[in-house]
Amino acid sequence: MSISLLWSKALLTDRRVLWLLLICNALGTVYGYIWYGLQLEYTLEIKPTWMIIFVPDSPTASLFFTVALAFILYPPKQKAWIVIRKLFEALAVVTSVKYGIWAVVMIFWGVALGDPLYWQDWMLTASHLTMAVESLLFVRFFVFGWKYLLIALAWTLLNDYMDYSQHIYPWLSPLLVDRLDQVRNFTVMLTFASALAGALALRQARKIRLFD
């Protein structure tokens, strides 16, 4: 069996595979929001309620991708829902790549500075890298265009601004908090890099569709 089968259209668009991925991502999303539970409670105590949407970064990215998978399974026909589909797909790509890579870098950056490495860190590394990879694999089956990619970039930059201007970024190791300016700069650069990765994947996807 060729390894290319793992990212083939036949496999990735098989409804059984789509349902499996949707369920796994939905469960991961729920777990992610639970993971952020204490920070969500803390933010609600000291910040305006509306800021809460900017706190749980990775689970929200996972939520975007879960909804995007649902739209592949049940493509909408109405124009308004098609617009919503495109928006969720673009957000899924940019945020999943961004926060998938960001979490892994933060874990091992902390380790390099002296933080211990626990088994949960390996679990988080695997799950977050999967977020980044699967979102790029599915770009060829998404229907969003460049306009929606720019909207997703704008939203993610707004999230960065809120995180570091209002100090609602994901809780970090004290060793990384001491380098918060560096973390912030890396985060913003990663946002642009993630949008670029999405753009390159979209360009490649359009070429592939010509031969599908």
Establish how many alpha carbons lie within 13 A of residue 7's alpha carbon, considering only the half-sphere containing its beta carbon. Answer: 12
Query: CA-based diameter of the chain, in Å?
Result: 55
Cα–Cα nearest to 53, from 91, 105, 97, 109: 91
Distance (Å, whole) CA 132 – CA 101:
7
Give pTM, 2 decimals. Answer: 0.93
Distance (Å, whole) CA 47 – CA 24:
32
| The token pair that represents 37 in the structure block | 């539970």
* Rg from Cα positions in the chain: 18
Backbone angles phi, psi at 15, to 5 degrees: -60, -30
pLDDT in tens, 166-175: 999 999 999 9
Average pLDDT, the chain: 93
State mean pLDDT over 110-138: 94
pLDDT in tens, 141-185: 999 999 999 999 999 999 999 999 999 999 999 999 999 999 999
CB atoms within 10 A of CB 110: 19
Backbone angles phi, psi at 138, to 5 degrees: -90, 0
pLDDT at 203 over 80: yes
Conformation bin of residue 103: beta by default, left when phi > 0, alpha when psi is -120 to 50: alpha
Backbone angles phi, psi at 128, to 5 degrees: -75, -35
DSSP state of 173: -
pLDDT in tens, 16-42: 999 999 999 999 999 999 999 999 999
Distance (Å, whole) CA 86 – CA 88:
6
Distance (Å, whole) CA 195 – CA 97:
8
